[in-house]
Structure 1
């Protein structure tokens, strides 16, 4: 089982058209045939017709503020820009799951992502050698209007896929099992050397893209500098910048990983301590003393469940704020590294232009010195042979 998140989007109609029709070709951008579709199904929708599912999900996403108001919540908050989630589930070539088995896997994956109560469109394709199914889910809850948080969605699907393969009685991806065990232990994942520095979510967030950082511009006046010398100095400068940036960002990544492991360990200890303290009266009183609320004294003594759940929610909110602050700090460090190396690169370009101008001036001085040593050039006229005139030219000139 290989789950793959294709990404988030804005248009339900666009992704539904791709799933419900054949793959587009260069000549035909919007094919009308649907030969690769084996079967379709819906989840939590008032219709079983796949053609109407996209419109209903789009209407639900558009009515999110009204759903929040009807559920007793606030209509405020940032508007959800990408309500569409598109992912696929693929089986091995030697597996032959039927529709019932595929539907069971889809329900399990939706539950792992926390979308079991959300609207979804399921489309199974049979145009490849391996069976696979596409899932188009609506992130907006049809009852509360709130958007589902998809943090660590790939990790959730990875753990679910490992459990699914264990239920089937055969582990087909050993590396996934090793990586999940290392994640639980807080260790580094097993990756090939060229994959280790590529954490693309962090790359996009912290702008750690080495290939796009080079902004070499030519000198202001190319006629006054030696371009060969300028290109040579610029290449040396960029080589220094690229190597330094890679080392700096690798050091930041290692340090950030250690800080994240320490933060998760400390937060887990705080959660476990809260669970232990909430089981005894003395522990609940100690928590109440930190809360400083007289209204909760009786509830703390009786061990009221809603009060304990409120403490847990407050602790989770505090932990979310901690993670957000740590992520912002890492992003700011990465931007400082980028700004520092960009400043260094621009200074080296100025130095390259100065050195190239000096090379050009030196070459000009040498040429002038060479001309002075040769002395003034004396032009000796070469006499031209006398040209015949008149009748001697063979019929031109004087006429008779």
Structure 2
């Protein structure tokens, strides 16, 4: 009884803090905390459509991996750009202009920390990305790296004052110094690792970790993003197809991954993105065939969840709240998502046969775990075309890290926890086994 009183007192205190701290108003959004999703797909769940390999788009049915890659995939990628994300900027050259060692015994001695200055040739000039890279202490050869974009800057993302405050835009709840009130509230509500990945855990498991501030590419703010997107949008692009922030972030991820891949200390490059960044890592893997593994956690509409279901966060919701994320064309489908020529299972399929983990939480109905599992089932034939085992899952509470396409759901709400990262690392261990040094 005493514990129950204390618990509700604590919750009331946190609620009061939310009312007193306007910077954290976004964190009170109750849509992320709802009744739990079912453990099994509802019997009336509609399959993903269009059927992945069926005749369509002026093409006959797809019967081989070669036909998929050479005929269907280019058509789908073009449609995702024209209908949802906007034009992805043309690939540019990327180089590492400077590498500075920051701490040879960082994260409690788990590894070393470096700061890289990465230069990307963009359509309108050079973009400079401040990249923090940590290597495991015991590495004896090339190691896989998790590349994780962040919203608050590397100083907070890696929880160290050895890195500078971010130069670009950060949301109001991002305090530039680790351990301050706003970050503490965010972690309380959305999980310990929502703002900063568990660097020591990742390094101790034998992985490198790379982090950068997304504002180095495009800031996540509708007013500020406009000029940056205009500079990245290819010349001659129709106004309805101008580059969206998700497409720009995906483009940036692909270039930063190439910079990492050029370092002899690094082996495979894995992407991890949560929520809106989960959308970006999926598109990045679809446009960049050299990326090796993707973890997209709670990516929802415009990510791994089916748009045509109109469940959770709908097309109308996401395009009205975050118009800068997508091409203006996507908003035309608000309230009538079934008019889309494509759906998100086809985006997942563009990544096949590389490993993809789709993360979810039972009470995160806004991100639509059911729609995400339906998308995974709809995408599975692309993996089968490449000789991978069949994937068809009806239960949401089954996680198989040995499957190259896998669905993961824990209890709880929207956010990133230690349980999540343990699953992500188990998945990477299983999928990259034989490629990592002992």
- Report TM bin, short chain: under 0.3
- Per residue, is there more helix in 1 or in 2? 1
Please report the TM-score for the alignment, with normalisation by the length of structure 2.
0.22
Query: Which of the two has higher C-alpha Rg?
Result: 1
- Per residue, is there more strand in 1 or in 2? 2
Higher relative contact order (CA 8 A, sep 6+): 2
